[in-house]
Structure formats: structure tokens, C-alpha cells
Amino acid sequence: MKKVQTGQIIEFYSNSCLVRTKFGEFSCLAIKNVVVGDIVELEIIQDSKKLNGKILSIKKRKTKLYKSEGNKTKLFAANISHVGIIIAPKPKTSSEFIDKWILKSKLSNIAPFIINNKIDIESDQSYKIKLDTYKNLDINIISCSAKHDENLKELIDFLAQKSVLFVGNSGAGKSTLSSKLIGKELKTSSLSNEQGVHTTSISSLYELQNNTKIIDSPGMRDIEIKNYSKDQIIKGFDEILKASIDCKFTNCNHINNKGCCVIESLANGQISQSRYNNFIKFRDNE
């Protein structure tokens, strides 16, 4: 076994982490800014009859995901290829939550897709319209019931060769879905308002068959996007960005300017009202 190896961080604690290499898993002290998903170089050290690791360096990250903490941003996962946004008929997921994660994913060069969970529950017309909105944007939507094991094979096939982070509001079924796919019950605790459950475990990366990797990060629900510029915000709304190219004025506010093609597209149904409302809200920090 080589003294210096390459591995991936699969668990992260407050000041230590677990690194998986082809020779096994090694406990290491965490170095500054290291996160789950990082590919690292580590030195294997014999310590009290136990092999441990010392992280020497972090390999260049393909992608990075940050979360805001006040006026600061903090890296929490690396090398993710896809974000799975879990929604359900009950409790309902707001279009604002979905659009925030689509925006964040696109700005991080990560592909977003939607998991329509709890298909065993009757959905109302407004929920069906919401699904159609994102289908029309060519965002992949996979419908399933994690609780009843319905259509999980389609999701498993879709996840092949991908590194995925699941996100969802409380009660959307993130823990249930992750547990079914991983084959391991994730630690959860009930919320006081009985809206659902949330994970209380450490950040972890699980490897499945077909080179699928799932990152489970506790507390990943709502996010802040106030640190993004107006030019960045519109990149999360492809249909609005496309329409804006033909606006009469380059500095069009897409609200009440004459010759605005965004407003025209909204009027003729090419842009959905909910997507437009969220774009304006995010852009103008309302």
C-alpha cells in the first residue's frame, strides 16, 4: 500500500473527516475548507496500531456549492454533478423554493432536476400546473413514491454515473427517499410542528451501484440568494433570458418599459406567471 494516496471525503464532522481510497477508509483531521465530495491527497500514518490519514492537498474541484451564513458564504459540498429538488403534493413545495435551487444549481454549473415524490397522494390542479411549468422548461422530472417503492427504478437508472445532492422542504420525503436508495436508515428527528422530519446526521457521501454517489447534508432546505447580482439572477431563468435579448432597450427593467419582449412572452403564456414573479422578486431583493 502506497504511503501517499488519492481518496474522496465521504464523511465530514466538525474537525475531522473520513476519506475513502481504493485501499480502505481512513480517519483524518480536517484541513481548512475541506468538504464532503472533495478529492484529496493523503499520507497514511501509523498511529497507536491504527492507520490514519493526513490530508496533504485538495484536488481541483469540478463544482462547488456554497450556502450563505449572514454576510458570508460557506462551502458545504464539492464535485456534485446534479441537484435533485424533491417536491410533493403535501406539504406543498413553493415555486420560490424550486426556482431558488434551479438558480443556485445553474450558477454552480450543476444540473438541476425535479423528483415528484408521493405520487400515491392525490394532487390538486395547482400542483399539476406547477409540474407542467417545469416540464415545459425541459427540466427532468421523475415521479415516484419513496414510501411505497413506486417507480424507484426509473430514478435509480437516471442517477447512474452521477454525483447528486438531494434538497427538499420539511416533509417532502428526502430522508425516506435517501434511505431507500442508500439501503440505510438515516438518522432523523420529528419536527415540533409535525410538518415532517429532518436529518440530524453528519454530512455523508454514499456510493451506490452504477457509480452513483449521493451526498446527504443535514439542514439543506431553504437557501439565501441575496448575494447574487442581477446579471447572475437572470441566468437561472433561461426563458426570461432568451426573451430579454429582443427587448427594445438593453437596460429594460422587464416591468413597464415599452418594447419589452419579456412582458410580451408573459402575456402570451411563453413565460409562466410564477417564474416571472420569482425572477422579479429575486432580482430586486423583494
> Looking at the DSSP assignment, which residues form a beta bridge with residue 65?
77
CATH (residue range 71-216): 3.40.50.300
- Domain 4-58 coded CATH 3.40.50.2300: no
Name the pLDDT band for 57 (thresholds 50, 70, 90). Answer: very high
Given a contact cutoff of 8 angstroms between Cβ atoms, the answer to whether 44 and 74 are in contact is no
Name the least confident of 8-22, 68-82, 99-113: 68-82
Fold for domain 230-283?
Ribonucleotide Reductase Protein R1; domain 1 (1.10.40)
pLDDT at 255 over 90: yes
The mean of the pLDDT values for the chain is 89
All three cell numbers of 46, joined, read: 501509523
Given a contact cutoff of 8 angstroms between Cβ atoms, the answer to whether 277 and 266 are in contact is no
CA distance 233 to 236: 6
| DSSP 3-state of 205 | strand
What's the whole-number mean pLDDT along residues 276-286? 92
| DSSP 3-state of 222 | coil
Helix (H) or strand (E) holding 139: none
CA distance 115 to 98: 11
**What is the structure's pLDDT at 170?**
87
CA distance 265 to 17: 50
Given a contact cutoff of 8 angstroms between Cβ atoms, the answer to whether 264 and 225 are in contact is no
Helix (H) or strand (E) holding 73: strand 72-78
pLDDT at 154 over 70: yes
CA distance 225 to 282: 7
Phi first, then psi, for residue 226 (nearest 5°) are -70, -15
220 or 60: which leads in pLDDT: 60
User: Over the stretch 194-253, which tens digit does the pLDDT of each residue have?
Assistant: 334 333 347 899 999 899 999 987 766 668 887 889 999 999 999 999 999 999 999 999
Given a contact cutoff of 8 angstroms between Cβ atoms, the answer to whether 218 and 166 are in contact is no
pLDDT at 47 over 90: no
pLDDT at 84 over 60: yes
User: Over the stretch 176-198, which tens digit does the pLDDT of each residue have?
Assistant: 999 999 987 765 443 333 334 33
**What is the structure's pLDDT at 90?**
93
Name the least confident of 49-53, 119-123, 197-201, 237-241: 197-201
**What is the structure's pLDDT at 150?**
95
Given a contact cutoff of 8 angstroms between Cβ atoms, the answer to whether 150 and 180 are in contact is no
Amino acid sitting at position 120: D
Q: How is the chain split into domains, by residue range?
A: 4-58, 71-216, 230-283
**What is the structure's pLDDT at 195?**
38
pLDDT at 149 over 90: yes
Given a contact cutoff of 8 angstroms between Cβ atoms, the answer to whether 101 and 83 are in contact is yes
